[in-house]
Homo-oligomer: A and B are copies of this chain.
Amino acid sequence: MREWGKLLLNYKFALDEVSTKLNILNEELQFIQNYNPIEHMKTRIKTPESIRDKLQRKGYAITVENAVARIQDIAGVRIICSFSTDVYRICEMISNQQDVTVLEVKDYIAKPKPNGYQSLHLIIEIPVFLTDRIVQVPVEIQIRTIAMDFWASLEHKIYYKFDARVPGDIGHQLKEAADLIASLDERMFALNERMQEYRLEQEV
């Protein structure tokens, strides 16, 4: 029990460090460019139960060592932004941080999941300074637009209500909604671009 508690503590500290870092980057951009790409953020830590479930599903023995070695999304941050261009800017900004190592990038925006899910997923590693040593802790970062997030939260509710066996017609409607959201995001982005061009034209 205590061993698992100690484990989760390091992930909690990693989230504290990542949150502080992201807030600093966002406030800096807000100040310099009067533009803050991050609408809001949420952090979560997997419960011991869900870590055990995941180890079991993957066919590993349930030990703290395996949790550390095999599961990379024990600590998670979700970043919500307005436009999909922001998604990539935030990703680049994180990747440029010298104390952050990017272990993996999965781009579900360029290539959505079959059910329609869109998001950019990073696995990064960040140093946590403990009283007597430094540990490198992996954190999953999910970056997506407001509209993608709206879709994902409904899909999540549906998925859990049906225990992962989503009936065909509902799955179909969900996919359609995802397409609608993608076209909304595009239109809002185009509108934002149009607005900025217009201003430049006027200033000439």
Contacts and interface: CB of A to CB of B under 8 A. Distances in A.
A63 interface: no
Given A17-B20, A27-B9, A130-B24, A170 B191 contact: yes
A23 interface: yes
A180 interface: yes
Interface string A1-44: 00001100100110011001101110111011000000010000
B174 A191 contact: yes
Contacts of A64: none
A158 B195 contact: yes
A46 interface: no
Given A150-B146, A173-B190, A183-B180, A20 B16 contact: yes
Given A97-B129, A158-B191, A170-B195, A23 B16 contact: yes
A184 interface: yes
A87 interface: no
A114 interface: no
Interface in A145-204: 146-147, 149-151, 153-154, 157-158, 161-162, 167, 169-170, 173-174, 176-177, 180-181, 183-184, 187-188, 190-192, 194-195, 198-199
Interface of A: 5-6, 9, 12-13, 16-17, 20-21, 23-25, 27-29, 31-32, 40, 82, 93, 96-99, 128-132, 134, 146-147, 149-151, 153-154, 157-158, 161-162, 167, 169-170, 173-174, 176-177, 180-181, 183-184, 187-188, 190-192, 194-195, 198-199
20 contacts: A6-B31, A9-B28, A13-B24, A16-B23, A16-B24, A17-B20, A82-B150, A98-B134, A99-B129, A146-B146, A150-B188, A157-B192, A158-B191, A162-B195, A162-B198, A167-B198, A170-B191, A170-B195, A177-B184, A177-B187
